[in-house]
Structure 1
Amino acid sequence: MAEWVAQWHAEHVRFSQLLDFLDAQVAELHEGEDPDLGAMCDVVSYLSEFGDRFHHPREDVAFARMVARDPALRLPVNRLLQEHRAIAFAGEQLVALLSEAMAEGVVLRSSIEASAALYLTYYRHHLATEERQIVPMAARLLTPQDWDAVARSNPSGSDPVAAAACNDAYRALRERMATRATTTP
């Protein structure tokens, strides 16, 4: 049980680190510099891929079990599920703008900045809500049998950034994050 709560929290910490990296790139864009658009795209793609393949399926099971134990959680859980869809949509829009800009299409910097700001705002709010309200509540409400169900929902495979056999983009992203972790106080 505690290991799942710790894993959930660790994933949120990693997501926040990636959002910090994305935020720094957006700041460069805002200041008229040349951010790494490819890295920005990789961050959003990773957050989407990992979320869809690993993180959200486990959350879905935990959320359903939490609502079964406390029906008053239906509204906040439904809101979180809606946020998953809003974040995915905002991410798709941001990736489309970044891809167009990388292909040397005409894309206003302000459009990328606004799209990224929306994505960052939604995602950070979502993580904060889960960390502040849902993860602690899951630790209290869910039984060992519930956490076994969460474990069974975990698809085979591994985190595409942490995996040794990840693709080149995710390997580069992992290396950027490791470098950032050693240079950030």
Structure 2
Amino acid sequence: MSIAATIIRDEHRALASVIKGLQFLIQEIQNRGQKPDFALLQAIVSYVEQFPDKLHHPKEDQYLFPALRLRYPASATDLDILQDEHERGAAVTTRVVETLREYAADPARFEAFAQAVDDYANFHWSHMHREENVILPLAEAHLTPQDWTQINAAFKSNSDPLVGINTQREFRELFRRLVNIIPAPYGLGAEHR
């Protein structure tokens, strides 16, 4: 397995953890009447706003996808779908950002925020599934060592706030908080009653 493929999978796991954490917090508000922690919700939304669309997806679009198109043209349909999702993903993220702002100002906007998060989660589960189960295996089968050298260098420069070498303090704290709140199997928090 290439370094880049490992990094992509690690970044997907980090994003999945954040999404699961956000969904858990929404369930706690919805089902248990938990008071919303807007500082935590904003930190989560900042992560999803900053990392996937601004660092992760551009590296795939600039390095991995063109190399695979060249080496295995039959991947074009799946790559087109993923690149289209990369373009549409910003709008899905913006909806989460906007509905959180609305919810913070007006508690009656909770359902709109919860729906935006659900839409965001479903969008990313499908997207990550296609990348990991279709594109990465094709890339590992068809790309040359020279292709991987360039792709690996690009992805090694990523500084995902949760998994990268240049981890930012506030995102380390966010991840720590999420892991300690969320019950197993996604976190270390107490068993959910």
Contact 1:12-1:127 within 8 A present in 2 as well: yes
- TM-score of the aligned structures, taking structure 2 as reference length: 0.80
Whether 1:10 aligns to 2:10 is yes
Q: Answer yes or no: is 1:74 the counterpart of 2:80.
A: no
- Counterpart of 2:177 in structure 1 is 176
* CA shift in 2, pair 1:164/1:93, >3 Å: same
Question: Is 2:7–2:155's contact at 8 Å kept on the other side of the alignment?
Answer: no
Contact 1:18/1:43 (<8 A) preserved: yes
Q: How far is the alpha carbon of 1:48 from its aligned partner?
A: 3.1
Q: Distance in 2 between matches of 1:36 and 1:21?
A: 13
Is the CA contact 1:63–1:77 (under 8 Å) kept in the aligned structure 2? yes
Q: Secondary structure at the match of 1:182?
A: coil
Partner SS, residue 29 of structure 1? helix
Alpha-carbon displacement from aligned partner over 1:105-131 (angstroms, at most 9, x marks no partner): 465221111111111110111111111
Q: Render the CA deviation track for 1:130-154: whole Å, top value 9, x for unaligned.
A: 1111111111111121112213434
- SS of 1:132's equivalent in the other structure is helix
Normalization by structure 1: what TM-score?
0.83
- 3-state secondary structure, aligned to 2:188: helix
How many Å separate the matches in 1 of 2:4 and 2:158?
Answer: 17
1: distance between equivalents of 2:176 and 2:99? Answer: 25
Distance in 2 between the 1:57 and 1:11 partners? 13
| Moved beyond 4 Å, runs of 4+ | 154-157, 162-165
1:24-173 equivalences in 2 (<5 Å): 24-31=24-31, 32-60=33-61, 61-102=63-104, 104-105=105-106, 107-154=108-155, 156=157, 158-162=159-163, 166=168, 168=170, 170-173=171-174
Q: Distance in 1 between matches of 2:59 and 2:158?
A: 14
With 84-93 and 117-126 compared, the bigger mean Cα shift is at: 84-93
Identity %, equivalent residues: 27
SS of match in other structure, 2:69:
helix
Deviation of 1:57 after TM superposition, in Å, equals 2.7
Structure 2 unmatched runs, 5+:
none
Aligned residue pairs total: 183
Following TM superposition, by how much is the alpha carbon of 1:47 offset from its aligned partner in structure 2, in angstroms?
A: 2.6
- C-alpha separation in 2, matches of 1:4 and 1:83: 20
Superposition RMSD in Å? 2.5
User: Structure 1 stretches of 5 or more lacking a match?
Assistant: none
8 Å Cα contact 1:66/1:73 also seen in 2: yes
Letter of the structure 1 residue corresponding to residue 27 of structure 2: A
Q: Is the 8 A contact 2:4 2:156 kept in 1?
A: no
Q: 2:44–2:174: 8 Å Cα contact kept in structure 1?
A: yes
